[in-house]
Chain A
């Protein structure tokens, strides 16, 4: 951990009676990062965020934000944080503009400044045409954008986004992700939780994989991928193999796992040169016919699978 950490969480423990939600969680997030918190449902992501925001009391450990201890009455710190909740948190009775203005008012007193910030947030989230509408009339994607606008309108130094793209169509999701990257480019540090690995891989500069309230691995996407054994996955379709041949494939250099189902062979190999050539030569030597062949580099899903032993969507 360095002294330039924007957030430092050390040995955080949070229990709900017998359930340990956070088990000595330790994390540090630096200024300028888009930090991804990746974990399945119930892994402790939201609990960790609630503790960071001092919305929840924890049993053990410490949290410092901007170098200061975070407490429920740390309003100077809270002033510099924007929160985008997992659920849309707006007033049904107010229009888009009124909602954004209201939540901006919780941070900014000056009316003129607030007006200009609200206009910026409306433009940034593409809600200009919908400013007079009530949330009930907005589509799911627009609602999410309104939710984001309410969280970022006061231009916070740190933005915490708890699964902001849940139940959003792909087009709106892309728009939201582009917006997040833009916010980061404008100087905000972002903590982003999700169980969509492609999103995290796409926008996060550093990622922590959490499960059972513990950090299992931290690093950039590349660093995480290097932590696992899988260097490459080769998939071969429409192939007929008997047990002898399967055993032979399993015995090839760098192969450490394979599955064969519905005439599809998936071979997981450790990082090495010419893996694909070696496999294709083997098939040629044994005169085995096959359909499409493709090779994939490891994804975060592979990382997660190997580290936690389960799919992220479990």
Chain B
């Protein structure tokens, strides 16, 4: 087992790089959780910084301001277009309602619309529009029913204090939220590809050195047996890196992860990603013959796939074009499976089929990449 031992010895020499990547991975994963974790504490009504410029000063105008204040934070703003522009530009205020003089006549009994200024393209602005319309409609209806304007306004404000009880559908056993271990598994492809491609690439470049290769071919150990030992080394390093990566969710979120019924599927998914990463590592070592190039190539592959396939940015946020392109990359299928597991505690038949498809695609990618690498390697040998 000389070749195998040599393989492990060279791996040991590159171990600092592995730890560096694990540290990067942990930092990214924990930072991402800190950023997203705080916002995911159940349903919360949208609240904005808005301003009401009251040029009317009547009961209805004050009532509208009070009504909006229940949902949003009212910001004091002078009735000066340049100040309004500045505050909006710096996003200190997202929505400004200007209540004109004769508000009651013009907007409640007339057809005139309230002039509003909002951040262009803002979804939340549309939400405030709806609240203003609701208020005016309710007051209009109450007034038509015989209420005085003051009573109608008071009644509408009073009614709006009743809030709906919102319960999130708990499909995944984590209150509808993405479990933290799922966030960690979302980042695992980056670390697997980086560590395995970098470390195995560096090792294989050493073994692919033509002079070393010649010397080994002259030796008393058959070339086939040497290759078997190298493959064994590959697999061992792959398994160790996979164990380290999957150990982290156990250590950081032990109970939650262990109690998640999808745990074995997460592990299987990451194991398949390990196989893909091993194939990629073999391809990289076949294509590159110089140590200095490894880092650059590995970064392009790992970061490229991570950005395109939803490792660093959720798949849902990515554009349609990017998602279509990402389908030709293995990490996309890993992330699809991960999202499926993160969102569902028990899988329906269709979801199980979908999960198996994602697994199968990763296996196919691993086989295809390995096949390409073997063809290139053979062509190089016979060239």
Listed in ascending order, the chain A residues whose CB lies under 8 Å from chain B are 53, 55, 73, 75-76, 78-79, 81, 83, 85, 87-94, 98, 102-103, 105-107, 150-151
Contacts and interface: CB of A to CB of B under 8 A. Distances in A.
Interface string B206-241: 100101101111111110000000000000000000
Most B CB within 10 A of own CB, among A79, A83, A85, A89: A89
B6 interface: yes
Given A102-B2, A105-B6, A107-B219, 15 more contacts: A75-B220, A75-B221, A79-B220, A81-B218, A83-B215, A83-B218, A85-B214, A87-B211, A88-B211, A89-B209, A90-B212, A91-B10, A93-B13, A106-B2, A107-B220
A106 B212 CA distance: 12
B13 A55 contact: no
A85 B220 contact: no
11 contacts: A73-B222, A75-B220, A75-B221, A78-B220, A85-B211, A89-B211, A91-B6, A93-B10, A102-B2, A106-B2, A107-B220
A76 B220 CA distance: 7
Contacts of A105: 2, 5-6
A106 B3 CA distance: 8
Nearest to B212: A89
Contacts of A81: 218
A85 B211 CA distance: 7
Interface of B: 2-3, 5-6, 9-10, 13-14, 206, 209, 211-212, 214-222
A53 B9 contact: no
A106 B218 CA distance: 10
Most B CB within 10 A of own CB, among A79, A87, A98, A106: A106
Contact of B10 (A76, A94, A103, A107): A94
Contacts of A55: 214, 217-218
Nearest to A160: B218
A20 to B, nearest CB: 20
Nearest to B1: A105
B215 A78 contact: no
B9 A106 contact: no
B17 to A, nearest CB: 12
A-B pairs with lowest CB-CB distance, top 7? A105-B2, A89-B211, A106-B219, A79-B220, A93-B13, A89-B215, A93-B10
Contacts of A89: 209, 211-212, 214-215
Contacts of B14: 93
Contacts of B212: 89-91
A98 to B, nearest CB: 6
A132 to B, nearest CB: 14
A79 B222 CA distance: 11
A55 B210 CA distance: 12
A75 B225 CA distance: 12
Contacts of A102: 2, 5-6, 9
A288 to B, nearest CB: 57
B10 A85 contact: no
B278 to A, nearest CB: 20
Nearest to B223: A72
Contacts of B5: 102, 105
Contacts of A107: 219-220
B206 A106 contact: no
A74 B212 CA distance: 19
A298 B366 CA distance: 66
A78 B13 contact: no
Most B CB within 10 A of own CB, among A79, A85, A93, A98: A93
A78 B214 CA distance: 13
Nearest to B203: A93
B157 to A, nearest CB: 75
A203 B10 CA distance: 38
Contacts of B215: 83, 85, 89, 103, 150-151
A197 B219 CA distance: 30
Contacts of A83: 214-215, 218
B206 A91 contact: yes
A92 B206 contact: yes
A107 B222 CA distance: 11
Contacts of A92: 206
Contact of B220 (A90, A91, A94, A106): A106
Contacts of A98: 9
Contacts of B209: 89
Most A CB within 10 A of own CB, among B3, B5, B14, B218: B218
A151 B214 CA distance: 12
Nearest to A79: B220
A39 B209 CA distance: 26
A73 B222 CA distance: 7
Nearest to B218: A83
A150 B2 CA distance: 14
A157 to B, nearest CB: 13
A240 to B, nearest CB: 55
A22 to B, nearest CB: 18
Most A CB within 10 A of own CB, among B2, B211, B215: B215
A78 B218 CA distance: 6
Given A87-B211, A91-B6, A94-B6, A106 B216 contact: yes
A207 B90 CA distance: 88
Contacts of B216: 106
A93 B5 CA distance: 13
A65 to B, nearest CB: 12
A75 B218 CA distance: 9
B9 A94 contact: yes
